[in-house]
Amino acid sequence: MTVPARPLPPRGAARVGRPGLILGGALVGAVFLAALLSLVWTPHDPVAIDIPARFLPPSAEHWLGTDQFGRDVASQLLVGARNSVLVALLAVGIGGSLGAALGLWASAMGGWVEEAVMRLADFGFAFPALLFAIMLAAVFGPSLTNAVLAIAFINVPIFARVARGSANLIQRMDYVMAARAAGRSRTAIALAHVLPNVSAVLMVQATIEFAVAILAEAALSYLGLGVQPPTPSWGRMLSEAQTLLYLHPGLAVWPGLCIVAAVIGFNMLGDGLRDWADPRLRHAR
Amino acid sequence: MTLLLARRVLTLILTLLVVSVVVFAVMNVLPGDPALVVLGMDSTPEAQAALRERFGLDRPVVERYLEWILAALRGDFGRSYTFAVPVSELIVERLPVTVPLALLATLLTVVVALALGVTAALNHGRPGDWAVMTLSQFGVAVPAFWLAILLVLVFAVTLRWLPPGGFPGWEDPVAALRALILPTVSLALVQSAILARVTRSSILEVMRLDYARTARAKGLSRRTTLIRHVLPNALIPIVTIVGLQFASVVTGAIVIENVFYLPGLGRLIFQSITNRDLFTVQALVMFFAVAVVVANFLVDVAYILADPRLRKGAAE
């Protein structure tokens, strides 16, 4: 009688049980779910002004109450999630792809190209996203697009460094040498052999940068440099709530909690994924 | 070491040059016509022409850039369009708010982070460590401006211990410091969450090294080992992160000044955006970028001077 071979546990199974990865995944899942849900349904119209219904306490009708214009807070938070996710996706997507492409290119070319790209990346760190957003706002006026561009900008040097660092390790592998010996071009090797092998690292980085992007979007919107009224955003809800702090302090609590939950979620998920993807780290801890 | 320093100075100059080109390009080339930004789309052509002439906008871009950068080197950042005074005057007026805020926040960050990091490292794997790490996980995720709002809610609105905002000026130092307490704390707590993690892992790493073990083995107490042998070496990465965090503190100060209505550079930059005062924004952005670049440069120099290995490495 043969005993059926037990399938090997999936890679990193030991870590999947980690509370961090699960909690992070759950929080991130909730944020994405809220963002998607807001596309098709919100309890109330998030921008509908209803003055008689101002400052209502939480109830079955308005789960988290209403704000100074009688707008439903819960509905605004849902749409706020959508905006946060949208800005983060676009900013990390654009900045990350551009940075990763630059990093891969630098690694593939080597020599002075690599040096030049990396020096440019160094210089990129001199510009915090806020300064860039301020410049764009001064020139074009504040807008969501400017916020996305500014956050994307700071992602370029980060991803360029990470991609180049990981790619340089792959470049020394035998299969890359073999491909080179077979006469494949640098671009072909970078796309066919290097990119698939650095993508995991890039994904982990993207998860962590997502958290940074959500924080940056909140700060920019709080300052009026991001999502413009009347579109709800967590950051702007806080700046509106600040003026009502003496009378209705509760309004300043919910948007902040949403930001913290989303950021913790992405940070935990990123850390968890990194541990899971890198077996060396699993033993090092 | 001289070679290393010289190379670092060269990088500094190059970085500043690139930064200035980018700032100038974004503010002067991207909009097409700065006069339109300052005066608005509905301004008359005559007014635009007058402004162009007054600020020399009718001359070639390269010429304007060179003039701007050479003047800036002499401390002349041009005139503010709305305040009708030299921008340098505006900056000097507001430095006594922003500089103390940034320095106090950095100081508090280091003190809190070292305390938390050392506590966590000494209690590695025990509840103390766990508590610090959880706290810092939260700290990293809390937006400084939200923390600021919550602190105002507790200490200004409810307890009425501290002012909710505004700045009385340094004529009354006690009142001035009181006005800076909440802004400093909201800036520093978030930063120290990050730094505490770095401190913890840096100390843990050094404690694993042979000489730290030897120190313990020859009978030194944990505390003496930590202070005499571990901390001096663990401080190197901590100092680097403090330098990098200076960028966050500076931009954080821009946000926090707006939360607390502090009349510093951060508030000025926002007034200038609202006023479409392009040249003031340009000068201020440049000012902040230079502060960040120079701070990083100083950290690197301190590094080269402090680390005997780098000194030796450069001599070889």
What backbone torsions phi and psi does residue A265 show, to the nearest 5 degrees? -55, -50
Chain B residues in contact with A210 (beta carbon < 8 A): none
- 3-state SS, residue B159: coil
Chain A residues in contact with B247 (beta carbon < 8 A): 125-126, 128
Is B269:B289 a contact under the CB 8 Å cutoff?
A: no
Percent of chain B at pLDDT > 90 equals 32
- Alpha-helical runs (H) found in chain B: 2-28, 34-39, 45-54, 61-73, 87-122, 127-141, 144-151, 173-207, 210-217, 222-224, 231-259, 265-274, 278-306, 308-315
Per-residue pLDDT, averaged over B227-244, amounts to 83
Q: Is A285 on the interface with B (CB under 8 A)?
A: no
Per-residue pLDDT, averaged over B172-201, amounts to 92
Hey, are the CB atoms on B26 and A136 less than 8 Å from each other? yes
Hey, are the CB atoms on B142 and A260 less than 8 Å from each other? yes
pLDDT band of residue B52 (cuts 50, 70, 90) is confident
Range ranked top by mean pLDDT from A3-12, A112-121, B98-107? B98-107
Q: In this structure, what DSSP letter does residue B32 have? A: S
Q: In this structure, what DSSP letter does residue A52 have? A: G
Q: Does the pLDDT at position B313 exceed 60? A: no
Chain A, 100 to 119: residues with Cβ < 8 Å from chain B are: 119
Q: Give, rounded to a whole angstrom, the gap between the first and last alpha carbons of chain A.
A: 42
CB-nearest to A238 from B14, B19, B149 is B149
Q: Is A42 on the interface with B (CB under 8 A)?
A: no
Q: Which long-range contacts (CB under 8 A, 24 or more apart) does B6-9 make?
A: B8/B297, B8/B300, B8/B301, B8/B304, B9/B297
Q: Does the pLDDT at position A271 exceed 50? A: yes
Give pLDDT, residue B261: 93
Give pLDDT, residue B211: 87
Q: Is A126 on the interface with B (CB under 8 A)?
A: yes
Across-strand partners of B86?
B79
pLDDT in tens, A82-119: 999 999 999 999 999 999 999 999 999 888 999 888 88
d(C-alpha A125, C-alpha A162), whole Å: 14
CB-nearest to B254 from A130, A138, A256 is A130
Is A29:A37 a contact under the CB 8 Å cutoff?
A: no
Hey, are the CB atoms on A123 and B37 less than 8 Å from each other? no
Chain A residues in contact with B268 (beta carbon < 8 A): none
d(C-alpha A205, C-alpha A198), whole Å: 11
CB-nearest to A267 from B141, B144, B282 is B141
Residue whose C-alpha is closest to residue A262's, from B191, B148, B141: B141
**pLDDT higher at B112 or B61:** B112
Hey, are the CB atoms on A134 and B285 less than 8 Å from each other? yes
- 3-state SS, residue B207: helix
**Best interface-test mutation with B: which of A127, A161, A214, A239 has the largest number of B CBs within 10 A?**
A127
Hey, are the CB atoms on B26 and A259 less than 8 Å from each other? no
Q: Is A131 on the interface with B (CB under 8 A)?
A: yes
Is A106:A113 a contact under the CB 8 Å cutoff?
A: yes
Give pLDDT, residue B48: 80
| Choice among A14-23, A70-79, A106-115, A189-198 with the minimum mean pLDDT | A14-23
Hey, are the CB atoms on B255 and A222 less than 8 Å from each other? yes
d(C-alpha B291, C-alpha A163), whole Å: 28
User: pTM of this prediction?
Assistant: 0.87
Q: What ipTM was predicted for this assembly?
A: 0.86
d(C-alpha B226, C-alpha B215), whole Å: 9
pLDDT band of residue A54 (cuts 50, 70, 90) is confident
Chain B residues in contact with A137 (beta carbon < 8 A): 273
Give pLDDT, residue B206: 87
Distances B157 to A248, B35, B148, B163, B190 between C-alpha atoms, Å: 11, 44, 12, 9, 22
Give pLDDT, residue A250: 82
Chain B residues in contact with A284 (beta carbon < 8 A): none
CA distance A245 to chain B (A): 7
Hey, are the CB atoms on B145 and A219 less than 8 Å from each other? yes
**Best interface-test mutation with B: which of A120, A217, A242, A263 has the largest number of B CBs within 10 A?**
A242
Average pLDDT, whole number, for chain A? 84
pLDDT band of residue A29 (cuts 50, 70, 90) is very high
d(C-alpha B136, C-alpha B126), whole Å: 16
What is the per-residue DSSP string for A233-268? -HHHHHHHHHTTTTT-GGGGTHHHHHHHHHHHHHHH
Give pLDDT, residue B101: 95
**pLDDT higher at A160 or A4:** A160
Nearest CA in chain A to B124: A285
How remote is the C-alpha of B92 from its chain's centroid?
17
Give pLDDT, residue A200: 87
Hey, are the CB atoms on B27 and A139 less than 8 Å from each other? yes
CA distance B315 to chain A (A): 24
Chain A residues in contact with B258 (beta carbon < 8 A): 223
Nearest CA in chain B to A263: B141
Chain B residues in contact with A235 (beta carbon < 8 A): 143
Hey, are the CB atoms on B143 and A256 less than 8 Å from each other? yes
CA distance A235 to chain B (A): 9
d(C-alpha A216, C-alpha A41), whole Å: 27
Per-residue pLDDT, averaged over B137-162, amounts to 92
Distances B241 to A48, A174, B196, B223, B314 between C-alpha atoms, Å: 46, 37, 10, 24, 23
Q: Is A134 on the interface with B (CB under 8 A)?
A: yes
CA distance B79 to chain A (A): 17
Residue whose C-alpha is closest to residue A139's, from A233, A225, A235, A221: A225
**pLDDT higher at B312 or A268:** A268
Hey, are the CB atoms on B140 and A263 less than 8 Å from each other? yes
Within 8 A by CB and 6+ apart from B185, the residues are B108, B151
Inter-chain contacts counted by CB atoms under 8 A, chains A and B: 123
Is B301:B5 a contact under the CB 8 Å cutoff?
A: yes
Is B223:B140 a contact under the CB 8 Å cutoff?
A: no
Residue whose C-alpha is closest to residue B188's, from B91, B124, B115: B115
Give pLDDT, residue A283: 44
Per-residue pLDDT, averaged over A190-208, amounts to 89
pLDDT in tens, B245-267: 888 888 899 999 999 999 999 99
Hey, are the CB atoms on B145 and A259 less than 8 Å from each other? no
Q: Which long-range contacts (CB under 8 A, 24 or more apart) does A37-41 make?
A: A37/A78, A38/A75, A38/A78, A38/A79, A38/A81, A38/A82, A39/A82
Torsion, Cα B10 B16 B18 B22, to 10 degrees, reads 180
Nearest CA in chain A to B251: A130
Hey, are the CB atoms on B146 and A238 less than 8 Å from each other? yes
Q: Does the pLDDT at position A15 exceed 60? A: no
